[in-house]
Structure 1
Amino acid sequence: MPLSNQSVPPCAVVISSCDAYSDLWPYFFHFFFKHWPTAPTPVYLIANERTYGDPRVKTINVGPDQQWGSNTRLAISQIDEELVVLLLDDFFFDAPFPTETFRQTLEQFTTAKGRLLELRLHGEAGEAVHGTGFRRADPQNLCAGINSNLWRRDLLLEIAEPGLNIWQCESLVRKKLREGEKNFFFMDQQAPKQISFVEGVRGRFWKPEGLAYMRKNGIEPDLGWRPCPPQGNSFFAKLIRSWQKRGMDRRRAAMVTPSSLEILPLASLES
């Protein structure tokens, strides 16, 4: 059931993804439900053609990829909840989600008429928002992004412009701040932490810290499918990454078969 009470509109959790990252879904949802077992369900997953085989997850298939803005707008238009927590699929929860603290955050966000709250960012800059644990973002304090945020659904539809990639949509959030938006918030430095995660993937590859987190939890990803190449900007590191990207592209071009459309959970690791 949606997380709600008499004073707070229903809140949905939406995972922004695509089929090219479907190999991460079992890992993402393993840690998501481990650390937030009371999350409002169904959790919505944005995908192209593939689905995730868990009754707690509702896959919204948007068809062939048309950039982040188009995919997100099409998916969000199918969700009724007024508030949306948007998460990216390659950030893995690594600590219990504070359900009661978040319930209070939702109440404060609603009372303050918030439109965007950056749950992961804490700081002391910006004006304190009376009666809340929030600070107000402003043109001098441009901390306004996409991932791990609480959104008003109508705002998310505004910035998810068709044809724009995720970075271009993120720039529209900052543009709204420069144009005078007053109801974009982030967490005060002293406010309870809302969310904690490990960034597992960057530039299509496993990050060393992401791979270490998997292995710490007894999970060994298929590095033939998504490698963890050398880091840094040396000639050989760049050469290896380029070679591995071409191999990934060849494998992904042939990945969709009738037997591979549904991605299954890590059943052996689920508690």
Structure 2
Amino acid sequence: MTKNLIYFSQSAELFEGPIFDSKYQLLYFVSILDALVYCYNPNTKEILSVKLDSPTSNVYIISEKVVLAASKNGFYEIDFKTLKATFKFQIDIASNVRYNDGIEDAVGRYIIGTMGYPEVISGIGNVYSYHKGTSQIIIKNTTISNGLAFTADNKSLYFIDTPTNKVAKYNYDLKTGQVEFVNNVIEFKGDGSPDGMCIDKDDMLWIAEWGGSCVSQWNPLTGKKINEITLPFTNVTSCCFDDESNLYITTAKNDNKLSSNNGSGLFHIKLNQ
């Protein structure tokens, strides 16, 4: 296993939301508070960015170099071939929240959570589902909506509301987009709090630990930790797989102002070599 620091910015406070486009071999991620969306080509090492006008939390892949980005002021289609952004729609959310982590389901619904902004407020968030012009709330009264992951059969949705320090499991109805809470499958008891999350081919969960300096791998069927990848950043925010089952990881600025790692980082962890 090797760790490669691909991109680093001294000024960025909060890298998040990595998602890999296997078809076109591109990685997208965001700098939330800078309202920046990045497109990284791991083959050419080119990094492109587009700036929106409000905090931007995650992207959904549409086509080659075209994504839908969720910002506080709405969802924008970004074309990285022209570096242009076009407003597409907005969900009816409160003025004192912003979007956070999101995921697309197997039929094209955009699922996304909210959290208080500019300050965190307990229970003010929700998880929304948006499809063909209609939105609905599927999980209510969250505080910091974070990781979302579907099992391979699309029958289960895992979800993290960070302050609970737990990963919740929901039954997912792909026909209606409705969820039903089952139970909490993982509980964090160490220094790290669960943040972003992805799922591997065996339905094991890989969870970025804010304050824990690592990404940890868990079996949601047993609630046990399987593996841990440590990083030289305290606040690890999210992760995703490339098409070779290697891991991209985003990190945020360290809380300790005396730390030598005072920006945000993007890592590529080669698990299969």
On whether the aligned pair clears a TM of 0.5, the verdict is no
- Greater helix share, structure number: 1
Q: Which has the higher strand share?
A: 2
TM-score (norm 2): 0.29
| TM-score (norm. length: structure 1) | 0.29
Kindly indicate whether structure 1 or structure 2 has the higher relative contact order, using CA contacts under 8 Å at least 6 residues apart.
1
